[in-house]
């Protein structure tokens, strides 16, 4: 009799455990929404590429002429206020120029370019003028952006989470449920900085105009909230 009672009690305990386990495994009720955060600011950093291309009858002559002009260009950039650490060689090339059927080398063209970074956006136009005045015949840019990109991304993320909470609250109120704590947060994307139109040159102007415009940093998140 005691053995039968013990077995019955064990059976009841096992059933209770299974019931508790099933209750624990029951899915929680949640609302999952996307949130977007955008931060707009004025760029305080500009990047250009300046280069020199020279052609001569020989490879040595092309490289020699190119080196002389490139040294003048780098010196002019430093004189314009660009720190040596913000001037970096981007590409050096030397190629032959042939006749139409490629059977004879007519001359050689040497090219050398540097990437220049400056935080003096207001003076970017005068930097372009100084580079061209020193012999640069290859110019590209500007690439404009904020120097505090990481801080702007964090601010955008904070706005994205706040936007997600506002969306979830609106859904909860419409569904007549109570919004609870955050269950999960995922950063779904991080967009590159988007630039507004920036640079334009005017013939005869005393300095090449560069307008910084504005930049936007966008972050997106997916957040799940518990509901009751």
| Closest alpha carbon to 50 in 124, 145, 159 | 124
Quote the pLDDT of residue 196: 54
Which two three-digit tokens encode residue 156? 């955008």
> Are 156 and 218 in contact, with CB atoms under 8 Å apart?
yes
Domains of the chain plus CATH, in order, are 28-42+149-227 (3.30.110.170), 45-145 (3.30.70.2970)
Return the C-alpha torsion angle 121, 127, 132, 135, nearest 10: -140
pTM for this structure?
0.65
> Residue 139's beta-bridge partner residues?
50
SS3 105: strand
pLDDT tens sequence for the chain (228 residues): 554 444 444 444 444 444 544 445 556 899 999 999 999 988 888 999 999 999 999 999 999 999 999 999 999 999 999 999 999 999 999 999 999 898 899 999 999 999 999 998 888 899 999 999 999 999 998 888 888 888 999 999 999 999 999 999 999 999 999 999 999 999 987 665 655 544 444 444 467 787 788 888 899 999 999 999
């Amino acid at each position: 009799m005691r053995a039968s009672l013990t077995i019955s009690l064990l059976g009841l305990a096992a059933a209770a455990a299974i019931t508790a386990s099933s209750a624990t495994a029951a899915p929680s009720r949640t609302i999952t929404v996307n949130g977007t955060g955008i931060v707009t600011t004025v760029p305080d950093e500009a990047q250009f590429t300046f280069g020199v291309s020279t052609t001569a009858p020989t490879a040595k002559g092309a490289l020699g002429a190119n080196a002389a002009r490139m040294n003048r260009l780098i010196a002019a950039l430093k004189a314009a206020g660009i720190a040596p650490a913000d001037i970096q060689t981007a590409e050096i090339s030397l190629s032959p120029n042939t006749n139409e059927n490629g059977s004879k080398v007519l001359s050689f063209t040497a090219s050398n370019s540097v990437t220049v970074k400056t935080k003096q956006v207001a003076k970017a136009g005068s930097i372009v003028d100084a580079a061209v005045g020193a012999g640069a015949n290859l110019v590209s840019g500007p690439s404009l952006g904020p120097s505090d990109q990481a801080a702007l991304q964090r601010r955008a993320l904070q706005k994205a989470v706040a936007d997600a909470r506002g969306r979830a609250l609106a859904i909860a109120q419409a569904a007549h449920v109570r919004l609870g704590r955050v269950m999960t947060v995922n950063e779904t994307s991080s967009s590159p900085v988007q630039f507004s139109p920036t640079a334009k040159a005017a013939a005869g102007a005393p300095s090449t105009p560069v307008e910084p415009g504005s930049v936007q940093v966008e972050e997106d998140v997916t957040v799940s909230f518990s509901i009751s």
